[in-house]
Chains A and B, each alone.
Chain A
Amino acid sequence: MTPGPRRPAVRLLRWALALYPASYGTTPLAEVADHAERHLARAGRLGGLREVADVAAHGARLRLGLVSHRPLGRAFATAAPLAAVLAGTYAAAHLWWAFRMVTDPDFETFSDEGAQRVGPFLAAAVALLPAVLMLGAVLARRWSSARALALVAVVAPPLIHVLARPELLGGAADTWVVGLSERRYALIVLNALILLLAPPDRAHPRSVAPWAVAVPIMAADITITLTGGIVDWINLSGFDIVAPVATGAAVACTARTIGRTASATAVLAAPPLLTPALTSVVLLPPLPFVQRLTVLYALGCLVALVAVRLTARRSRPADLTHT
């Protein structure tokens, strides 16, 4: 006898189905519900959650008009590896920060930023938020090729800093550890939404994609470290350094040939290499943090959108390389 669906999962499924727009139609929605319920009846607890996440992501994409046969949907899919990298970085950094908060009461960041305002327990809970979001992403299977990139983005920077400038060893952690600020968590949520709602990964070719993103990120990081920019950036998250290059590199990942991937990566890696010079206090008064963040991120997304649209226009309609 087939066991019935688990009740909490069924309740979650109802909420997930509510995400579908009315325009999707009653028959298709009934099919999705029927299919998901049958899966829930057979799946374990984890498998059930994964099924619900899959349905929720599809419903949300439909509601937002981000379906993969539209250019906007393709651009959205392009941003998924970027979101995975950033969410992975945030997740690891905040996990580490939470660990330090627990093990070291005198941890400097604890007294520097908003943790003082909200109290240690809430601060620790919020610090775990990115990790929870990453868990959701894993459950929804939205980051298969990008998990390697997240690893590179998390592991490489501290190593590079320490190798290049050993005197930073004591303070290197503070460079990547950020405090509780509303705008940073807004960015985490934004990236998590992109990541969770994005269609399944579509990086091509798979062997090139991770490195096409990882190499420019590390190149930017090495440059910033060697030019001493790291001192000026000490209070920033890695977001505004990484966002444009990762976005551009994600575009490069969708290119169809190695040559185009390489050239797009090289071109789009330039802004973060130049950014430390442009924003250095020595040369120019730095832009306010939010402005810089917004401008760079918007620029990266714009580049991604244009590149994807151009690629789509040049491609043959029945070519399924990007499916």
Chain B
Amino acid sequence: MTRRGALADVAAGTDQPEDEEYPQLLTGRLALWGHGLDAGGQGAVAALIQEGDILARGDVRDLLVVDTGARARCDWPRFEALYRTTLVLDASEQAFLELVVAIAFPRLVPLWQIAALGERRLTIILRALATLAGSDTVAVGVRT
């Protein structure tokens, strides 16, 4: 199926085009979209995909992801405007999203919120900061 065919399926209300050309998983489509972004956008998308739990929530996806079935992207402005009042988040989720949005859209960042992240999300955010810095020499991992 061509791209035009896939878009026609979307227009016809087909949710999942049977098209090998596009990744079938939402995370794959987001990663594909993220590759074309600047360092901050790449870092933020990669952080969301790595974290997984938040992106698995339907209310988060409804607010953040614009998914045509063939392609997906994040609508950061809409998400930033609404997520604090729309979503029910615990402190760790709140801190994670605050930092991810700041990485996607360079802006003032409340660094102290990292204290609420927990080890796994902290690792992901530090990786995203390294990506934002354009560093391919800093590796962030969990000591075992």
Bound pair (A, B): no
Interface residues of A (CB under 8 A from B): none
